[in-house]
Amino acid sequence: MTDGPLHGATPGDDLFDAASLISAHDGAHAFEAVVPPIVQTSLFTFSSYDEMLSTYRGEKLRPVYSRGLNPTVRIFEEMLAKLEGAEDALGFASGMGAISGAVLPFVEPGDRIVAVRHLYPDAFRLFGTILKRMKVEVTYVDGRDEEAIEKAMPGAKLFYMESPTSWTMETHDIKALAAIARRHGAVSVIDNSWASPLFQQPIRLGVDLVVHSASKYLGGHSDVVAGVVAGPKHLVDRLRGESLPYLGAKLSPFDAWLLIRGLRTLPIRMKAHERSALEIAKRLEALDVVADVQHPGLGNRLPAGLTGTSGLFSFIFREGVDIRAFCDRLSLFKLGVSWGGHESLIVPGEVVLQQKAQPNSAQTFGIDPRSIRLHVGLEGTEALWADIEEALAAATP
């Protein structure tokens, strides 16, 4: 089986065909099920000594143990690879599992990474703890300053970026930055969680590896923590050979099944997030009590390579608005981290700045104490705006 709703992706010649594996024992079409089964098993048995031997010798590709290869997980990986325009992809147990899995195989003591500033805080902390102890140094640069990146790059093994960044929504010229990294022989990695492959496909812009927190838009229902890395076969194979077996943060079959379900509605959800968030951002921008709105869609045009905007953006309240009262009065927007689900969420910057976590360099995340990050969910623009107006009335004298 190479296509159809069960499969959801067309594998390349050298890709493992997960759907045919699932259907191998129950007829050509897996009972014609419109939804693929959850192959909820840790191990797979062999019918003979010879079959086991040829599998161990690498002459035959088939699942042995679910930390390596699981058919349900493989369906998700193939779907995601296709969406990102990548040759291959690997599912991880979380976005951080994907980030550490994408970075660790490419660095050793004495190496240096160049990263854009205002990274996702836990990626920053991975660099500042485990990588620091491994004697891997990280140079942070303003991703909008190509000259600074060009200057920082000689000798770097890896270039790590996020665009837009997940609090200040700073956008970068991904194509130009990926070209700089390539010229210097550095592997480039981008966190594409904010835009999702619907609105940005960094592989097509020259980036080597794309990582996602699939807990956000790919899952889309706030019911799964997962990650994925997509890229060319030779790089993904490095991860398959080292990160997955030895770091072990493998995506589970049930979580993969939830992600497959999430991906079915990704385009519809993303367009709804985009529409509502952009409208709310524009209305906020028009308010006297708002000093600034950080949303990539508010300028004249989107940065090259970004074809749409998601539901996550920030804005800054002027003095005089009681941020605590505003947050407590909201009813549709819930106080909560993460984003990408159906529900609207709010995070006040002044709370994040007091987070107890090491290293904590909240300033380097670019968080203004009077900033607010909103995730605009799917409840409907007018209902959400009414919620904001009511909360504002309670929070201003």
Ligand X SMILES: *Cc1c(COP(=O)(O)O)cnc(C)c1O
Nearest approach in angstroms of CB 361 to ligand X is: 17
Q: Which residues are catalytic?
A: 67, 120, 191, 216
Stretch that binds ligand X, among 32-40, 174-182, 211-219, 371-379 (CB under 6 A): 211-219
CA angle 320, 339, 95 (to 5 degrees): 130
Residue 188 in the binding site for ligand X (CB under 6 A): no
Stretch that binds ligand X, among 6-14, 91-99, 313-321, 346-354 (CB under 6 A): 91-99
Q: Per-residue x/- mask for ligand X, residues 267 to 306, rule CB under 6 A?
A: ----------------------------------------
Structure tokens belonging to residue 271: 């367009």
Residue 215 in the binding site for ligand X (CB under 6 A): yes
Stretch that binds ligand X, among 48-56, 90-98, 248-256, 372-380 (CB under 6 A): 90-98
Which residue type does 367 have?
I
Residue 310 in the binding site for ligand X (CB under 6 A): no
Residue 193 in the binding site for ligand X (CB under 6 A): yes
Nearest approach in angstroms of CB 117 to ligand X is: 14
Please give the Cα distance from 131 to 100 (Å, whole number).
Answer: 10
Q: Considering CB under 6 A, how many residues would be counted as binding ligand X?
A: 13
- Please say which residue, 179 or 362, places its beta carbon nearer to ligand X: 362
Please give the Cα distance from 189 to 208 (Å, whole number).
Answer: 6
Residue 95 in the binding site for ligand X (CB under 6 A): yes
Please give the Cα distance from 352 to 354 (Å, whole number).
Answer: 5
* Phi-psi domain of 270 (left: phi exceeds 0; alpha: psi -120 through 50; beta: other): alpha
Three-state DSSP at 126 gives helix
Q: Which of 66, 213, 314, 344 binds ligand X (CB under 6 A)?
A: 213
CB-side neighbour CA atoms (13 Å) of 375:
23
Residue nearest to ligand X (CB): 95
Please give the Cα distance from 118 to 169 (Å, whole number).
Answer: 9
Stretch that binds ligand X, among 27-35, 102-110, 199-207, 208-216 (CB under 6 A): 208-216
> Where do we find the tokens 């349900």?
72
Residue 314 in the binding site for ligand X (CB under 6 A): no
Residue 124 in the binding site for ligand X (CB under 6 A): no
CA angle 259, 168, 83 (to 5 degrees): 30
Structure tokens belonging to residue 104: 């660790």
First to last CA, the chain: 65
- Please say which residue, 169 or 392, places its beta carbon nearer to ligand X: 169
Residue 94 in the binding site for ligand X (CB under 6 A): yes
Q: Which helix (H) or strand (E) holds 139?
A: strand 137-141
Please give the Cα distance from 168 to 160 (Å, whole number).
Answer: 17
Q: Which of 191, 274, 343, 368 binds ligand X (CB under 6 A)?
A: 191
Residues lying near ligand X in the complex (CB under 6 A) are found at 94-96, 120, 166, 191, 193, 213, 215-216, 225, 227, 338
